[in-house]
Chains A and B, each alone.
Chain A
Amino acid sequence: MGAAILLFLGVGVGLHLLLSPLRDLELPAAVKAMTLVLGLALSVMGLIGGYLVARMPKERVQNIAEYIENMVRHGTVGLVLSENQADALGRLGHAVNHYMTFVKDEIEQSSLTAKERQIQIKVLEAEHRHIESVIHAISDGVIVTGAFGDLLLANEAAERIFGFRFETAIRKPIEEVITDKSFLGLLQDMRETGLFVPHRTLEWVQGSGDQARIWRVVLNTVVEGKKRERISGAVAVLHDVTKEKEIAKMKSDFVSNVSHELKTPLASIKAYTEMLLDGEIKEPTQVRECFQTIASETDRMNRLIQNILNLSRLESGLVPVNKTDLAVTEILRDVGDVITPQAAQKNLSMETDLAPVFFRVNGDRDMLYQAILNVLSNAVKYTPNGGKIRVSTYLSDGSVVVEVADTGYGVPQEELQKIFEKFYRSRHSGKTAPGTGLGLALVKHVIEVIHGGKVTVESEVGKGSVFRLSLPAVR
């Protein structure tokens, strides 16, 4: 701007000088007019020229400045306006272009490196998460403590076992996280003697009584140092063996029970045999009775062994199951044929209410026959002379129910579940019922485990019992 004014002024002054001596001369008007026009043209050109000249570097500079600011605003890196001129500004533009290119390369390089790092981090994070989820998926409890007994890692199973949240417990002293003293004692032992016994397996009982859970705990010390002389922590893995122990105990109880049940008839056999051999028994009728007892006790033992084997094989899945769609009513008729004479011997009246519609279930004929036979046999066995037994079938909630009701001795409330246990024989008037005590155990296994049904019993001592076997109906 300033340059333009100066130029304008300069040209103007020049013109004035040019024009003033001319005024004094006697020149023709045309010449005077021409010089005036020339003068004006000069001043205008000078004006424009000055303006342009003044404007050019400034505009260029401004353009360049604006362009750079734009790039900053949009965060891009690029070339400035192409500068072809060889002047100072042109060279500056050139240099700036060069620098921009350099900067752009550097930025791209950093960007690439940053992206690579990002990817690496993501991969590591994914691996870390994967390992964590693997540890959390382990159904055994895993607890890792540091050198000073601080909690470093615990998986979901461990959280459930001890009732804490790892995210709030991390790095806390283990005594603050786990309150069970006996378990803490195990960890303490580990810290004290871990260098000598770095690996140990023990059983830990959590809780007591019915609620107790038994854990097999495998403890390992984490050691560091060239000579492995420093304990840097401990790892505990807890495996739930409660069920295993229960099963082991049940097996042991079973063997014990079987042995007891077999020794009883054996004792009779031995006693009478010995006395007969010793000539203790004088009277012939008595002798005959003794032999009779020996014979029946022998049969009893045999039945017992058979039943135990049957039930055992059934429970082990060794007996092939042949299921077909069959009518429950047919089985009831077959069982009825066997039971009716037995009931008649005790003067028991048998009532049947088998619905005319043939309800069908999908089941193994022989097994269902045995189950229903056992229930009916019990009804006969446990009902005193002159009593009543009623058998009925009906449909209820998509299941076929076989109901056996008797007017027998009944079962006390506290024994209602026990009667399904192996070898359990209900007592009435102080006498043990004849039989093996396995009948209902078989019924329960066949109906519930093999056929997916349900066995229920209602009973009142002195009044009688009602057994219901329900099986899913088949359309």
Chain B
Amino acid sequence: MVRRILVADDEAPIANAVAMKLRNAGFEVAVALDGQEAYERATAERPDFIVTDLQMPGMSGLELSARLTAELAPGIPTILLTAKGFELEPKDLEGLPIRCVMTKPFSPRELLAAVQDVLGEAVAL
């Protein structure tokens, strides 16, 4: 079964790079360039996974995850990408299905590995 991933980042080059990497690995990827767009596409298409930037105009990555978790419990597994890693505290992630936080600049290789890990777990379950 082809896994569908939603990638959200307000920086187009980054969103495209992530999308390219994941597509090459066999995933179906949708790209959103801000939080609101990501939210709408997620509720409409119900992806299996989300890779999102933290700081986006309108809705942040955290808010996105929170709203989706509230509406589509148990929520969609998410990896958070951020340039401001040290500002996040464990309590910010509480109750959210955020499996991993990666700081920018990140390695696309490591990102792919992380996605496969999480989805691999889900499959195993």
Contact = CB atoms under 8 A, between A and B. Distances in A.
A280 B105 CA distance: 18
Interface in B60-93: 81, 83-84, 87
Interface in A397-447: 427, 430-432
Interface string A134-163: 000000000000000000000000000000
A298 B116 CA distance: 31
Contacts of B11: 264, 267-268, 432
A176 interface: no
B33 A264 contact: no
B18 interface: yes
Interface stretch (A218-226, A269-277, A360-368): A269-277
Given A268-B11, A270-B106, A278-B109, A263 B57 contact: no
B58 A427 contact: yes
Nearest to B84: A260
A131 to B, nearest CB: 51
Interface residues of B, number: 26
Contacts of A280: 20-21, 24, 108
B20 A430 contact: no
A259 interface: yes
A271 B108 contact: yes
A269 B81 CA distance: 15
Nearest to B24: A280
Nearest to A271: B17
B113 interface: no
B108 A274 contact: yes
Interface residues of A, number: 24
Contacts of A297: 13
Contacts of B36: 430
Contacts of B17: 268, 271-272, 275
A271 B18 contact: yes
A266 B83 CA distance: 10
A293 interface: yes
B43 interface: no
Given A264-B11, A266-B104, A266-B105, A275 B57 contact: no
Nearest to A294: B13
A269 B24 CA distance: 19
Contacts of A263: 83, 104-105
Nearest to B83: A263
Which label, helix, strand, loop or mixed, suits the secondary structure of the A interface?
Answer: helix
A281 B104 contact: no
A274 B57 contact: no
A256 interface: yes
Contacts of B21: 271, 275, 280
Contacts of A427: 34, 57-58
Given A427-B58, A430-B33, A293 B13 contact: yes
B108 to A, nearest CB: 5
Contact of B107 (A266, A270, A431): A270
Nearest to A281: B20
Interface in B1-52: 10-11, 13-14, 17-18, 20-21, 24, 33-34, 36-37
Interface string B100-125: 00001111110000000000000000
Contacts of A268: 11, 13-14, 17
A427 B11 CA distance: 12
A268 B106 CA distance: 9
Contacts of B37: 430
Contacts of A293: 13
Contacts of B81: 267
Contacts of B104: 263-264, 266-267
Contacts of A271: 13-14, 17-18, 21, 105-108
B14 A267 contact: yes
Best-surrounded residue of A259, A267, A269 (most CB of chain B within 10 A): A267
A431 B83 CA distance: 18
Best-surrounded residue of B18, B21, B58, B104 (most CB of chain A within 10 A): B104
A424 to B, nearest CB: 11
Contacts of B24: 280
Given A268-B14, A281-B20, 17 more contacts: A263-B104, A264-B83, A267-B11, A267-B14, A267-B104, A271-B13, A271-B14, A271-B18, A271-B108, A272-B13, A286-B20, A427-B34, A427-B58, A430-B36, A431-B10, A432-B11, A432-B57
Enumerate the 10 nearest inter-chain pairs by beta-carbon distance, A residue then B residue, closest first. A430-B34, A263-B83, A267-B104, A270-B105, A271-B17, A427-B57, A268-B13, A267-B105, A260-B83, A266-B105
